[in-house]
Structure 1
C-alpha cells in the first residue's frame, strides 16, 4: 500500500510506542490522526502537526469518529492494570470495538501492537515462532493481550486486514518507557528479581526498529492477516540489570517461581518478519543501552 497522504489513526499517541509511531508515520508523508484523553495532550500533539481528537478508545462514539475517513489504524493502546475486568475493558473490548469500527469504516489495514508475552513459554527454552499457541491462563497482561489477538482474528475473518506485531522488551527513551525510564530505578533500589543469576534470555527491540516494522506492516500487502515477532536480538538478563545495579543486591528468584519472561532461555524467531516484511533489525543492545544511560544522566 502506498502510504503518502493516507490518513492513519494512531491510538496511544502520547505514550512511549505511540509517540514514536506517530512521528515515524509523519516522516512517511502520512496524515496522522490521534485519539487522546487529556486536553493538554491534544493541544501538544496538534502543535506537532497531527490531527488530534479528544476521546477515549474505550468509548464507542469516540472510536467511530476517530476511524471515519481513515485508511488504516495503528493500535498502540494497552494497560498493565492487574484487575482482570479493567485489563479486559482496555486490552480486549476496546481493541475489538476499534477493529469493528475500522471494518465498518472501510479501513484498509489494522496494525496491532501486541507482545511476545502472548506465548506461554512452557518449555522455557527453544525457538518461539509465530504459530506457537497463545496463553489461555496466567498473568493479566499476557492473558488479555492474547484475548485481544483472538478477538481481532474474529473481525479479520469478516474482512478487516489485520497485522499483529509482537515485540519483546522495548528499549528507548520516553517518560513512560518501562525499560528505559521506570525499571532502572527499581533495579538500583534492589527491587527487581534476578533469576538464575541473570542467565535467562532477554529478547529486546529498540523503538526505532519497532516503528520501522509498523511502516512495513502497512506497506507490504503480504503482511495482512499475519503475526510477526519483531526482535533486534537476545542477551542474558544480567547484561541489562548490570547497567543499573546499585549498592543493594537484587533478590534472587528460582526459575520455577519466576514469570516466564524472566526465566525463558530460548529465543524468538524473526525469520518470518525478515522473509515477509523485509524486516532488518536496526539497533544493537549496546547502542540502545547507551542511549538510555545518556538520558538518565541528564539533569
Structure 2
C-alpha cells in the first residue's frame, strides 16, 4: 500500500511510540488521527497537524467514531504493567483491542497493524524463538492478555477487505521509553537499581525508530494474517545494556543481585509503598522481564518485510542521551 495521503489512526498516540509514529507518518505525507485517553501531548499533536480524539478503546462508540474515514489503524494502546488483576488487563488489552478491531472492520479500514509484544513467549523460551513457537503466559497478566488479544484479533482478518498484521516488538527504548530508559535511570540516580544474576541473558532492545520502520514496511507490503518478531537483531546482554545506560548518564555502574534476592527486596519495597498509599514504582515481577534468557529471531521480518534495523545500540543510546539532557525525567515518573 502506498501511504501517501492515506489516513492513519493511531491509538495511544500520547505514548512515546504512538507520538513518534505520528511524527514519522506526517513526514511521509500521511494524514494522522490520534485516539488518547487524556489531553497529555494534546497541544504538541495539534501543532503537528494531528486530529486528536479523547476517549478509551474500551468504549465501543468511541472506537467506532475514531475509525470513520480511516485507511489504516496502528493499534498501540495497552496496559503494560509488570503484574496486576487479569480482569483489568483483559478489559484494556483484550476487549479494547476487540472493540477497535471490530470498529475498524465495520468502517472499511483496509489495514490493521496491532502492536503486540515478544513477551507472549513468556520468560522461558528457546534461543532464536520464532513466530511459530508456542506462546506462554507464564502466570503473568500482561503476557496472558497480550496472547488473548492476538488470538481474538486474528479472527477478524479477512483480506482483501480487512487485513490484520501483528508485530511482536522487543524491548522498545529511545526518547520517552519509561521501562527501558526513564525508570532505570530514575532508580540509578537513587542508587536503587540492580540487575539480576550478573546480567546474564539477552536484552532484545528495539530502538523506537526501527520499530516505526517495521510498521511502515508492514503497511507497504501488506502480509495480512502474519505475525512478526521485531527487534534490533543484536544480542546484547542485560549487563551490557544497563552498564551502557549508566555510563551514558555518568552514573555509577549498577550492582548485580541474585534473582530471588531482588524479588524479595522489591516485594518488601512495594509493600512499604502500599502502606504509605503510594503506587509501587517497580514490582517484583519486573525481575522476570529483565532477566529473559535468549534472543528472539527476526529472520521472518528480514525475509518477508525486508526489515533491516538502521539504528544500532550505540547510535540509539546517543540519541536517547540527547533527549535526556533536555528532559526532566522526574516529572515523567509522577
- TM superposition score normalised by structure 2: 0.81
Matches within 5 A, 1:52-67: 52-67=52-67
Contact 1:4-1:30 within 8 A present in 2 as well? yes
* Aligned mate of 1:253, from 242, 246, 258: 258
* CA deviations over 1:227-271 (Å, ceiling 9, x no partner): 111111220111122132856953512489785543333211111
State the partner residue of 1:281.
Answer: 309
* CA deviations over 1:97-132 (Å, ceiling 9, x no partner): 100111111111100111111112434x42111111
State the partner residue of 1:87.
Answer: 89
Q: Does 1:230 align with 2:230?
A: yes
1:181 Cα offset (Å): 1.6
Task: Please list every run of 5 or more consecutive structure 1 residues that lacks an aligned counterpart in the other structure.
Answer: none
State the partner residue of 2:142.
Answer: 141
Are residues 248 and 189 of structure 1, via their aligned partners in 2, closer, same or farther at CA, if it must alter by over 3 Å? farther
Contact 1:127-1:269 within 8 A present in 2 as well? yes
1:192 Cα offset (Å): 3.9
1:199 Cα offset (Å): 2.1
Matches within 5 A, 1:92-103: 92-103=94-105
- Cα RMSD, aligned residues only: 2.4
**1: CA distance between counterparts of 2:127 and 2:75?**
30
Task: Please list every run of 5 or more consecutive structure 2 residues that lacks an aligned counterpart in the other structure.
Answer: 264-284, 328-334
State the partner residue of 1:296.
Answer: 324
Are residues 230 and 155 of structure 1, via their aligned partners in 2, closer, same or farther at CA, if it must alter by over 3 Å? same
Are residues 135 and 250 of structure 1, via their aligned partners in 2, closer, same or farther at CA, if it must alter by over 3 Å? same
SS in 2 for 1:278: coil
Q: What is the number of residues matched between the two proteins?
A: 296
Contact 1:200-1:265 within 8 A present in 2 as well? yes
Are residues 64 and 189 of structure 1, via their aligned partners in 2, closer, same or farther at CA, if it must alter by over 3 Å? same
Matches within 5 A, 1:113-124: 113-123=115-125
Contact 2:199-2:256 within 8 A present in 1 as well? no
* CA deviations over 1:204-232 (Å, ceiling 9, x no partner): 110010001111111103x2111111111
Are residues 191 and 231 of structure 1, via their aligned partners in 2, closer, same or farther at CA, if it must alter by over 3 Å? same
1:157 Cα offset (Å): 5.6
State the partner residue of 2:330.
Answer: none
Q: Which range is displaced more, 150-159 or 138-147?
A: 150-159
Contact 1:45-1:52 within 8 A present in 2 as well? yes
State the partner residue of 1:212.
Answer: 213
Are residues 218 and 14 of structure 1, via their aligned partners in 2, closer, same or farther at CA, if it must alter by over 3 Å? same
1:39 Cα offset (Å): 4.0
Contact 1:129-1:269 within 8 A present in 2 as well? yes
**2: CA distance between counterparts of 1:193 and 1:139?**
22
Contact 2:8-2:30 within 8 A present in 1 as well? yes
